Amino acid sequence: MPAFVRPAALAALALIAAACAGGTGSTAPSASAPPSGGPSNGPSSAPSGSPGGSPSTVGAIDHSTSPTDIVLRYDVGGGLIAAGFSASQTPIFTLYGDGRVVFKNILAVPPPAVGSTTLNVPLRTARLNEDQIQQLLALALGQAGLGTARADYMNPLIADAPTTTFSIDAGGVTKKVNVMALGMDTPDVPDGPARAGFNLLAQQLGDFDKGGSIRTDEYAPEHYRGVLLEGFPGDAPPTPWPWTDLKPSDFVFKGDPNSFPTPSKVLTPTEVEALGVTPFTGGFQNLVVQGPDKKLYAVAIRPLLPDESE
């Protein structure tokens, strides 16, 4: 069961959320920052509201209480990155309706490489109570500016940079906000004040457990996405094909036919374990295997999140 974040764990967010009420230029749903609540010497109470598929007014800022509905998400993608790396990456932070958060600390050091195979930082999980959810949503909609943000913020001064995407569905606001080259800002970049708010939110969510100082649990996925990329030889001898009941043709590309093909298949933890790479819960990329057809493939593994089925 995911750890519950103690009320003190979001003290910084509470202070920032309280400051939102004094900000200018925002028409986000108004809400004063709720108190931290709960005893200081024990876990916080569970999120209020029963899990369900429809929105429920569980605080000043309403949101779904479903355990698979995304309330707030922070993700980074695109730019000049290798296909295998992209295939193994998950969103950096997701808050679900029932208060569960699944995240990775972008400042954490990943496990050491295994030959040519690079491993990702394992995901962490915890549970927020309703007061903490409200504080986080007040920050996102208010001072961070998602409540009034437009859909896209370009940076014409930098080419081929990754794009940060914030997704929010709370307080009557349902949108995605794409920010190109966030954190690479100069005084000449348009929308400086808005980008500063987005960067504040990215820093909070990207170091959500404060360098591991807040107790959380490792996220244990029930399933993984395995991606098979043909013709990517490595320096080391390839790993023999590990599965007797799977073949390369079982990995199927279901995306945009005009995009780079990444044939994939949903795998169980046992099937991922057969690849011989540990730890694998955070995913990895560039494991070269030789298929039963004698072709070389690079395998990328990505953990599936509670809202994903494939």
End residue of a domain, out of 173, 206, 239: 206
Which string of DSSP letters, residue by residue, matches 42-72?
A: SPPPPPSS---SSEE--SSS-EE--TTSEEE
Are 148 and 11 in the same domain? yes
Are 101 and 172 in the same domain? yes
78, part of any domain: yes
d(CA 3, CA 272): 26
End residue of a domain, out of 183, 206, 229: 206
309, part of any domain: no
Mean pLDDT, residues 174-196: 93
Domain count along the chain = 2
Name beta bridge partners: 70. 96
pLDDT band (50, 70, 90) for residue 82: low
What global pTM score does this model have? 0.83
Cβ contact 47:5 at 8 Å: no
Taking only the tens place, the pLDDT of each residue in 20-53 is 333 333 333 333 333 333 322 223 333 333 333 3
310, part of any domain: no
Are 42 and 125 in the same domain? yes
Mean pLDDT, residues 280-292: 95
* C-alpha torsion angle, residues 204, 208, 214, 216 (rounded to 10): 160
Mean pLDDT, residues 138-165: 94
Query: Where are the alpha helices (H) located in 153-301, listed in sequence order?
Result: 192-206, 269-273
308, part of any domain: no
Cβ contact 74:92 at 8 Å: yes
Taking only the tens place, the pLDDT of each residue in 249-267 is 999 998 777 777 899 999 9
User: How many other CB atoms are found less than 10 A from the CB of residue 254?
Assistant: 9
Are 245 and 193 in the same domain? no
Instruction: Scan for tokens 């429809």, then name that residue.
Output: 54
Domain of residue 270 covers 221-303
